[in-house]
Amino acid sequence: MNRLDFWIRIFARKVADHGLVGALRLAWQRLLGRRNTQTPTTLPTPDEVTAYYGRILDLDPPPPPAPLPIEKDTIGWLIPPFLPGSGGHTTIFRLIAMLERRGYRHRIHLTEPGQFTSPEQVKKTIDRHFFPLQAEVVFPTTSYPPYEFFFATSWDSAYRVAHSPAQHKLYFVQDYEPWFYPVGSHYHFAERTYRLGLKGITAGDWLASLLHERYGMDTCAFPFSCDKDIYHPEATERERRRVFFYARNVTPRRGFELGLLALERLHRRHPDVEFILAGWPCERYRLPFPYRDIGVVPPRELAWWIARCDAALVLSLSNLSLMPLEIMACGCPLVCNGGPNNEWLLRHEENALLAEPEPQALATALARLLEDPELRERLIANGLACAAATDWEQAGEAVASALERLRAGQPLSLRP
């Protein structure tokens, strides 16, 4: 998919969600924003900086809230604005759907309006592009009801939840957000959220251990899975060898440049291999190997391409993404960088090859998959078994059990 096709598809989605006039307005706002980013003419005033961060951080302790009846069985969620396809929001909405089936009511608050103009528009986008939910959507506000459970989902929402009148204040943590920034103000603001006294429910074991050991947070984890109706093997005749790369160049923690260097080295060794790049359009890069840039595609199309590849490279320099399980479920052997952030799920030479985050080491691991049929078949079989053993219902049950422990006055942590 070339860049024009990509933007036509995005614009068509905007028209469907916002109407033609709304889509044109958003396109114009994006163009103006890009121009302002490329050629800044003014800096924010001190008052603007204070207002923005004061509203997010709310650093001054608020007065004790008046005693209010708790909204029992009701869960509040404070989430950032989103676009269709957001992986983090997909997990949030998936778990909301699972908890709804267990009898919980939900109310979703947005930290900012983003591109939305009404709660109805937010709800329509969730139901159409993610999961149909019973949850109510509330537009941005600085005051919140006394929920029984109230989830922050990002560092800039954590301060507001910490200062809310909720009975149980929780933090739905999907990655270690300080690493999203250089060491500076944003790094400090993000790291400070782990010391606000929120209870942490994390995506996977690595985050739960990290936040508990480094900050003393009471944490528990929910396991990963994948949509097995979409991600599964396909019997295909391959006309040429292909290697898949999760080329998410707009997300630094996915190691885009490191991956390109590894592919370039693999190309020298295997010049016949075609590379499939997915995650974001890459046409502005000049790449020294044959590749197909599929950009952002619907999950079924993504699974179709993965199932037609002989190996895959996915880099995770912070918490593991869902992509490794999706790749294993398609019967494609995986290479990933090693480290405790990935090894809580991936096992070297069992369900994946793990290598040092260095171009030649990653290229060598990919070459092993192309050159060693026995290793390749073993990793495929073990990867399929690993993916088959997972179930999103296990994640829903883990979160529901955590809430019940809080109700009973018990810690989240199941550690001895």
Taking Cα atoms as reference points, which of 247, 334, 241, 251 lies closest to residue 283?
247
Please report whether residue 30 resides in a domain. no
Task: Report how far apart, in Å, the C-alpha atoms of 49 and of each of 58, 94, 110, 274 are.
Answer: 13, 35, 21, 48
302 and 278 Cβ atoms separated by less than 8 Å: yes
State residue 109's pLDDT score. Answer: 96
Please report whether residue 373 resides in a domain. yes
For residues 246 and 105, state if they share a domain: no
pLDDT tens for the chain, 416 residues long, are 555 555 556 555 555 555 554 555 555 555 444 433 343 445 556 565 666 666 666 655 555 555 668 888 899 999 999 988 888 999 999 999 999 999 999 999 999 888 999 999 999 999 999 999 999 999 877 789 999 999 999 999 999 999 999 999 999 999 999 999 999 999 999 999 999 999 999 999 999 999 999 999 999 999 999 999 999 999 877 778 999 999 999 999 999 999 999 999 999 999 999 999 999 999 888 899 999 999 999 999 999 999 999 999 999 999 999 999 999 999 999 999 999 999 999 999 999 999 999 999 999 999 999 999 999 999 999 999 999 999 999 999 999 999 999 999 999 986 65
State residue 10's pLDDT score. Answer: 59
- The residues pairing with 173 across neighbouring beta strands, listed in sequence order, are 202
For residues 252 and 289, state if they share a domain: yes
Task: Report how far apart, in Å, the C-alpha atoms of 185 and of each of 56, 59, 190, 285, 300 are.
Answer: 13, 14, 9, 31, 40
Residues spanned by the domain of 73: 69-225+393-407
For residues 210 and 248, state if they share a domain: no
The SS3 of residue 356 is coil
Could you give the angle at the alpha carbon of 409 between the alpha carbons of 407 and 415, nearest 5°? 105
For residues 77 and 206, state if they share a domain: yes
Angstrom distance (rounded) from CA 217 to CA 212: 5
172 and 151 Cβ atoms separated by less than 8 Å: yes
Angstrom distance (rounded) from CA 386 to CA 342: 14
State residue 51's pLDDT score. Answer: 63
Angstrom distance (rounded) from CA 226 to CA 224: 7
State residue 11's pLDDT score. Answer: 59
State residue 237's pLDDT score. Answer: 75
For residues 191 and 248, state if they share a domain: no
For residues 195 and 253, state if they share a domain: no
- The residues pairing with 202 across neighbouring beta strands, listed in sequence order, are 173, 221
Angstrom distance (rounded) from CA 84 to CA 126: 8
Angstrom distance (rounded) from CA 164 to CA 158: 10
DSSP of 94-134: HHHHHHHHTT-EEEEEESS-TT--SHHHHHHHHHHHT----
Rounded to two decimals, the pTM is: 0.85
For residues 180 and 267, state if they share a domain: no
Q: What are phi and psi of 326, to 5 degrees?
A: -65, -40
Please report whether residue 292 resides in a domain. yes
Q: Which amino acid is at 216?
A: G
State residue 38's pLDDT score. Answer: 40
Element (DSSP H or E) covering residue 343: helix 340-343
Please report whether residue 14 resides in a domain. no
For residues 190 and 278, state if they share a domain: no
- pLDDT tens-digit profile of 51-66? 666 666 665 555 555 5
Please report whether residue 350 resides in a domain. yes
CATH of residue 351: 3.40.50.2000
Q: What are phi and psi of 272, to 5 degrees?
A: -85, -10
383 and 357 Cβ atoms separated by less than 8 Å: no
For residues 315 and 376, state if they share a domain: yes
Within 10 A of 44 (CB to CB), how many other CB atoms are there?
Answer: 10
Angstrom distance (rounded) from CA 10 to CA 85: 11
Please report whether residue 129 resides in a domain. yes
Instruction: For residue 61, give the DSSP letter.
Output: P
Number of structural domains, the chain? Answer: 2
Contacts 24+ apart (CB under 8 A), 371-376: 375/349, 376/310, 376/311, 376/333
Instruction: For residue 339, give the DSSP letter.
Output: S
For residues 146 and 207, state if they share a domain: yes
Instruction: For residue 67, give the DSSP letter.
Output: P
Q: What are phi and psi of 395, to 5 degrees?
A: -65, -45
CATH of residue 174: 3.40.50.11090
In a 13 Å sphere around the CA of 210, the CA atoms on its Cβ side amount to: 21
For residues 77 and 219, state if they share a domain: yes
Q: Which two tokens stand for residue 9?
A: 């598809």
For residues 134 and 104, state if they share a domain: yes
295 and 278 Cβ atoms separated by less than 8 Å: yes
Please report whether residue 188 resides in a domain. yes
In a 13 Å sphere around the CA of 336, the CA atoms on its Cβ side amount to: 36
Please report whether residue 250 resides in a domain. yes
